[in-house]
Structure 1
């Protein structure tokens, strides 16, 4: 169920393994949150917009005997991104959009690491070298995570630990025992540069004050590797994966809304184990039921030997599964953190916008207060009973900077630009859920566009908008059945990371597996790709911490403990 990145990736891998796979997606096309929208001659990516962790993409394509470069035209971005920092707010001017014109700090982070260290040092003497050392440590943590923790199901945690991990245990304990913000504050003096090292927490659905310091590894991605972008938009990734899945034999059924997972009581043998019908992973645990298929809204039942749900995990556990078979029934979610949602502004703008890079970040001075607002604790403006940040730390994508008139399908008509503005927002499905609430979001969107224009020095930005759409948390709740309208998925606090994140297999239902952002290893396109591989590893009974060897041999699932040919409903 679910044709997002996680569902597509799982479907293709299982079909490669020899399963007869049907992918069921309730929308008219696949992609999930990684969507695309064409309106009035403008093209927008409506979800993920950063191409991070390129080796994860390369590995998934290689598993299927493919090369990324044969499917995606990856363009190095330089600058990787541009940062606009707020300075002091004049007395009596609470709204950052209404500040009078004044000098602001603007920082370009480029592909040249040495130039970056010098630029950082010019901003804050001594911090250039500190950032160089921080980046080196981030690279070490990144490699440690890839080699030992991201590609494991944690069914055998001991297999993720070797001599290299043991040597790093004191440092690893420190990275898990304090927040990312705490680590950054200990290493870098300038508050603006601390923001450059901490903004990645938003990609984890959280704040730098809540995610573990281990996620400092993400600074490796932009400060060391640099940033690339698939020409034609992020949806070209979805199109490539859909093409590969179909070539592997996956049957893709869109406009097929799954409303339930069919479960039969498990037959239990005298030794207390589930019946042989259960898969390799399930045979080692007592289960109460066996997944037998899924039920569609029109009443059709699609039978399956294995069901993989890549739908929102909360939706799967509380709406698709009978309560008896849910590992995480509704009552258990009150103690979990949904993380952030987002206000999205998709704007087509008349004229050029050279003031903005492909990726631009806007950071407020009250960094901690901004995150407190987003997570529901702050003193800023109100929408209904919730508080939202004004001014806001926000992100702007201008893909027309890269997908201009030189490409076959430009992101904007001639003489225009497209903007995707993402404002981290409280997770509340009521925001945008009524005409009055939507009107409030539209008014906020006006202010955020004014803020971008004022901070970046763009004259009359809002007045130059010729088309726009504003989407709030209600959009994510309605379109993707997202828990509390979250934009990314369950946030990465320590209690919701790695082995503490919900696993990729049901504890109560044999042959029911999970992929996507709600399960391990976590949120983001690369993590969803890895979650698909973890489903394949579970079916194989593979408990190593290393990625599967490439390319996968067609029919590789025949090597598992399941002798029959599998039928799968992958989502």
Structure 2
């Protein structure tokens, strides 16, 4: 029986769920508070420069293929992918960097050249990482976090110790060189926690990195948003932007409608892809599952200070993705998670899409995206943004041996206050809730409300967790739960 489903937000998880629910024949309407769809993955176009405003790493291409295959499609029906080589560079000082190749054999050779014997250790580490990837991404993450038993299988029982060890310990058992250690710890930062707080099982992220490679949609990550929007539209989904949701109406403990820009809009079911904590504030207090104390006690992934910068010349000594680990990795992590404050000497990330995509900047120019991870809930002022921009630009100029500041023709920043204002992000978090042991699978906020019938959630604060591929999976998981409910109601 056809139902009317309203979806709040238009990030990856909401777009995914919209497609699956529309495929089942339901009337699906998506409401987005901002003036364009995509959530954190929106696109900015100004003065001839184009920027992906959020996610910029395309990892786990198999998850994207699996999503489109569920609709009888392929990614190539919508966008073209380019495998990056090098995948990225990690800088440790002035022109001192390690380039990560696009294949494991070359990466093994690179490791061996830095630390004798580490190539063989890396191969062994990657065998385990691939095994974990096969268990996690092909199976575990496609379970809805309803029961602890979802984690129990012959494969996971064999790996039970990996849920209690951590990535940092494992890497340090095999490698001694601090630079190699940092490179191997880097991928789990996508999960939003320190390597020392991330279970060993999550080494599957290393296989996503070295085993599957780093890709780039031809004209940016927004190609994926556009593809999902086109697919959803083909399936009959309607989209409305500039549509701020002010309240979720509950009657007889059942979600009946949402209030959008002052107008009540009826529906049979409400699904929120917006920030989970914010969504519950749209409910009367008695219908909220999680208290402020609960959210305060969670480990949140970092916020970020982002800069979108246009340069009026082509830059030297750069690659598409660049990580600047020329300062103390552990100290910066401490200033995010243990003693939250603005970091004294932050690590940072730079992305130059115009290296790969000539449409990202005018001819002869460069578009740059810079990111500093920060503690969520931190103070955010214009003065602090300016101070930290100067800090990273000075280091960028020194490390890449060039002058760039006087060549900046466009610059915009985005930080905690913007995450709160534009995405209703709790404490201005950028990546959701971290995947620590006590925040994994069934221990994360539920996809289905336990207090309000016909109210569901999807996205980075619920299962499976932070990241673009998990967001696609989250949309599928919640749509399956909704379908099960509707099937029961038929009986």
Partner of 1:77: 84
Q: How much has 1:152 moved relative to structure 2?
A: 0.5
Where do residues 13-412 of structure 1 align in structure 2 (5 Å cutoff)? 13-86=20-93, 105-158=96-149, 161-166=152-157, 168=158, 172-265=159-252, 289-296=253-260, 298-317=261-280, 319-375=281-337, 377=339, 387-404=341-358, 410-412=359-361
- Which deviates further from its counterpart, 41-50 or 138-147? 138-147
- Residue 335 of structure 1, CA deviation: 1.1
The equivalent of 2:3 in structure 1 is none
Alpha-carbon distance between aligned partners in 2 of 1:216 and 1:27, rounded to the nearest angstrom: 36
Q: For residue 450 of structure 1, what is the aligned residue in structure 2?
A: 394
RCO (CA 8 Å, sep 6+): is it higher in 1 or 2?
1
Contact 1:340 1:424 in 2 (8 A): yes
Cα deviation, residue 365, structure 1: 4.4
CA distance, structure 2, for counterparts of residue 41 and residue 112 of structure 1: 34
Deviation, 1:242, is: 0.6
Q: CA RMSD in A?
A: 1.7
Given the alignment of the two structures, is residue 479 of structure 1 paired with residue 412 of structure 2, yes or no? no
Q: Secondary structure at the match of 1:14?
A: helix
Matches of 1:78 and 1:184, distance apart in 2: 25
2:170 and 2:306 map into 1 onto residues whose CA distance is 30
Report if aligned partners of 2:13, 2:471 keep a CA contact under 8 Å in 1.
yes
- Stretches of structure 1 that go unaligned for 5 or more consecutive residues are 87-102, 266-288, 378-385, 405-409, 432-436, 543-556, 565-571
SS for the counterpart of 2:406 is helix
- Asked if the contact 2:34/2:242 (under 8 Å) is kept, the reply is yes
1: distance between equivalents of 2:177 and 2:37? 44
1:539 CA drift (Å): 2.2
Give TM-score scaled by structure 1 length: 0.82
Retained in 2: the 8 A contact 1:22–1:252?
A: yes
- Alpha-carbon distance in structure 2 between the residues aligned to 1:360 and 1:247: 37
Task: Specify the alignment match of 2:490 in structure 1.
Answer: 563
Q: Deviations over 1:218-247 (max 9, x none)?
A: 010121111110011110111111111111
Whether the aligned pair in 2 keeps the contact of 1:517 and 1:528 (CA below 8 Å) is yes
Q: Find the residue that maps to 2:231 and give its secondary structure.
A: helix
Q: Spell out the pairing of 1:463-502 with structure 2 (5 A cutoff).
A: 463-502=406-445
In 2: Cα distance, 1:158 partner to 1:539 partner: 21
Report deviation, 1:448: 0.8
Rounded to whole Å, the distance in 2 between the matches of 1:156 and 1:340 is 28
Shift of 1:141: 0.6
Larger Rg: 1
Cα separation, partners in 2 of 1:157 and 1:443, compared to 1, 3 Å: closer
TM-superposition CA deviations, 1:63-106 (whole Å, max 9, x none) = 122111110100010001111014xxxxxxxxxxxxxxxx5531
Q: Determine the structure 2 residue equivalent to 1:434.
A: none
TM-score by length of 2: 0.95
Distance 1:471 1:506 in 2: 32
Q: Is residue 26–residue 256 contact of structure 1 (8 Å, CA) maintained in 2?
A: yes
Note the C-alpha offset of 1:157. Answer: 4.5
Q: C-alpha separation between the residues in 1 aligned to 2:56 and 2:179?
A: 23
Deviation at 1:387, TM superposition (A): 2.7
Deviations 1:426-485 (A, max 9, x none): 212641xxxxx212211211111111221222x112222121112111110110000000
Give the conservation status (yes or no) of the 8 Å contact 2:301–2:433.
yes
User: Is residue 246–residue 262 contact of structure 2 (8 Å, CA) maintained in 1?
Assistant: no
| 1:513 partnered with 2:477 | no
For residues 512-557 of structure 1, what are the alpha-carbon distances to aligned partners after superposition, in whole Å with 9 as ceiling and x for unaligned? 1111111100111111111111112212339xxxxxxxxxxxxxx7
